[in-house]
Structure 1
Amino acid sequence: MSDDIYNLFTRFQTPNPDIGPRERVPMLAQEQAWARERAAMHRFSWIVVLVPPLCLGPVLPGIAFLLGLLVYQGLSAPGVDLDRIVGDSLGWLVLATLLFMAAWVLHNYLRDKRDPTKRYWQSMPDQGLVELEHHTLVSGICLWSNDYDPDCNTLMQWSDGKVKYVQDSGVSQWILAKTAAGHWLVLKEEFSGDFSYGRVGQMPAPDKRLQPLQHLAIAFAPGTNLQLGRRFDGAPMPLVETPYWLSADELKRLDEAAHHWNFLPPNRYGVVNAEDAAWVQRLLNRAQASVGPVGAVERSEAAIFPRHLSHK
């Protein structure tokens, strides 16, 4: 089913009965902060309710009335005096305009007050609950991308107990992990800093990079696939670091396959579908080839692809 961008965004932010039951647990402080940031996009706004009727309402009825008169004149009464009709109808036109504007304002008010997405986000952060989806990560490989957007050049990051806006470097770390269930799971970490427009950016220091542990619980806004946080536990996951930088086409394809934003069930957050698994395997083969000599590649393959999970 195809959706325009707005409808897809709205459906993604609204509880979906097609999402199966998940474990509900109390929010962490960081997750609640992210929930409040998301909820801010769905607040009731009198500006949204009043501006369209007040800006367009005074002219639309008059335009419709004049067009109707012109059509009537052209089809039925070529000699009709339009000036006289407009003058005689001015009072009724003003009344119709006021009623039209009032009805439009009332419609917008009821629409937004009854909107299920807005009602959900008004109460969700204060309920203090998230849903967890658990994954066991067997091994993974790290890739990089540099995709600076001058029209959206800030990041929201958790720092010093609050969500802050910082300069976006455009550099992202992509970790493609194999799970115990045999799926590819895609994790993405974005970094602040100076930006560049080239394909290759500046990698962050090793201690700033995402270092996943083997047990991952992804925290979602209840009933949705909107991620609010990641909870890691256990031993470090075996991870192959590569210097591979994604091309623009590779980044677009991987971003779509990762299911991080604006997707619908049965797709799952971060989980690569079967139809994209072969392409992901070819991408990883190219990334592994950038690691070094054949021996290093073979050791990397042995680390990331245990024999019982290999697709070869």
Structure 2
Amino acid sequence: MSDDSYTRYIRFQTPDPGIAPREQAPMLAQEQAWAWERASGHRFSWIVVLLAPLCFGPVLPGILFLVGLLFYRSLFAADLDIDRIVGASFGWLVFATLLFMTTWALRNYLRDTRDPTKRYWQSMPDQGRVELERHTLESGINLWSSDYDPDCNTLMQWKNDKLESVQDSGVSQWVVAKTTAGHWLVLKEQYPGNFTYAREGKMPTPDKQLRPGQELAIAFAPGTHLSLGQRFSGAPMPLVDTQYWLSADELKRLAEVAHHWTFFPPDRYAVVNPQDTEWVQRLVDKAQG
């Protein structure tokens, strides 16, 4: 992950004052499990604090001291006796090394204990609150994708009242729905199973497919756009089933406009921006045709 990607990732998981106030609600068990799963990536770790100082701290001061002496001899004193200076300075070098390691470890400790993202995730799951953003869905259409990633080939799914890791089939269901507010809204459901590199995978049976209710409440970690779950209620939303499998370019574009991951205000989770609605409409027309 590049520095820019990591910065965006951390920013996405940190409360953003640019997000408008939303409805507060108690967490469901599944949402709290997801909150703990997200929080696991932001736990304080002594290994992170001490690993670099203990691995590199004992050698860096000595190397810098020796390089400095060599540089000085090459420029100003060709007859400088480096061995004698190093021997005479051994005690001070040990002291400087210990001071360097202690300062580095202390700096890491203060950085991680005061980090706003880590402090947020250390307490948020125990607070048991989520923020809800509600949508009323009028109708939708099913699209499908097969995109297996060998570097990320497992899913976390809610089974037996806990999150369990299962094999990812690479098959995803994309529900593209129209809301009563006139927006396109994109939902995604991933399915476990045996994977295939084929563009067209194996669809799950109808009873296992996502069948949204017309009333949708998306649960977010408070102050963020990070979704912890979706709550459906009301009558089933009218849904057009298709056998349409997205091409690689269509899948990439749909994932971008869906705003499911690493986006910032004024973009909204799952809501397609006005400038992308024409492309989504053409995709829906193509799938139905």
Report the TM-score, using the length of structure 2 for normalisation.
0.97
* Superposed displacement of residue 131, structure 1: 0.3
The separation in 2 between residues aligned to 1:82 and 1:46, in whole angstroms, is 38
Q: Give the match for residue 192 of structure 1.
A: 192
Instruction: Determine the structure 1 residue equivalent to 2:141.
Output: 141
Q: CA deviation at 1:49?
A: 0.7
Distance 1:274 1:78, change over 3 A: farther
The residue aligned with 2:58 is 58
Show the counterpart of 1:207.
207
The alignment covers a number of residue pairs equal to 288
Cα separation, 1, equivalents of 2:74 and 2:272: 61
Aligned AA (1:20): A
Q: How far apart are residue 74 of structure 1 and its match? A: 2.2
- Rounded to whole Å, the distance in 2 between the matches of 1:89 and 1:129 is 59
d(CA) in 1 for partners of 2:70, 2:286: 67
- How many Å separate the matches in 2 of 1:93 and 1:145? 61
The separation in 2 between residues aligned to 1:279 and 1:61, in whole angstroms, is 58
Deviation at 1:282, TM superposition (A): 2.1
Cα deviations across residues 200-230 of structure 1 (Å, max 9, x unaligned)? 0000000100001111000001001110110
Secondary structure, counterpart of 2:158 in structure 1: strand
**Per-residue deviation at 1:88?**
1.7
| Match of residue 90 from structure 2 | 90
Per-residue CA deviations over 1:65-112 (Å, capped at 9, x if unaligned) read: 122222212222233222222222221111111100000111111111
Find the counterpart in structure 1 of residue 36 from structure 2. Answer: 36
| % identical equivalent positions | 72
Q: Secondary structure at the match of 1:95?
A: helix
SS at match of 1:101: helix
Cα separation, 2, equivalents of 1:235 and 1:145: 27
The alpha-carbon deviation at position 3 of structure 1 amounts to 7.3
Amino acid of the structure 1 residue aligned with 2:154: T
Give, in angstroms, the shift of residue 150 of structure 1: 1.2
The amino acid of 1:148's aligned partner reads Y
Once the two structures are superposed, what CA deviation does each residue of 1:129-148 show, in whole Å capped at 9, x if it has no partner? 00000011111111001111
- The question of 1:275 aligning with 2:275 is answered yes
1:279 counterpart SS class: helix
Give the structure 1 partner of residue 80 of structure 2.
80
Residue matched to 2:254: 254
- Residue 279 of structure 1: CA displacement? 1.8
Structure 2 unmatched runs, 5+ = none
Distance 1:95 1:3 in 2: 34
Asked if 1:101 corresponds to 2:101, the answer is yes
The residue number in structure 1 matching 2:224 is 224
Alignment-derived partner of residue 163 in structure 2: 163
Q: Which amino acid aligns with 2:231?
A: R
1:55 Cα deviation after fit: 0.5
Amino acid at match of 2:55: C
Q: 2:14 aligns to what?
A: 14
2:149 aligned partner, one-letter code: D
Counterpart of 1:110? 110
- Give the whole-Å Cα distance in 1 for the aligned partners of 2:73 and 2:277: 65
Normalising by structure 1, report the TM-score.
0.90
Measured in 2, the distance between the counterparts of 1:275 and 1:84 equals 72
Name the SS for the 2:241 alignment partner. strand
Q: Deviations over 1:264-304 (max 9, x none)?
A: 11111111112222222222222112xxxxxxxxxxxxxxx
CA distance in 1, matches of 2:146, 2:157: 18
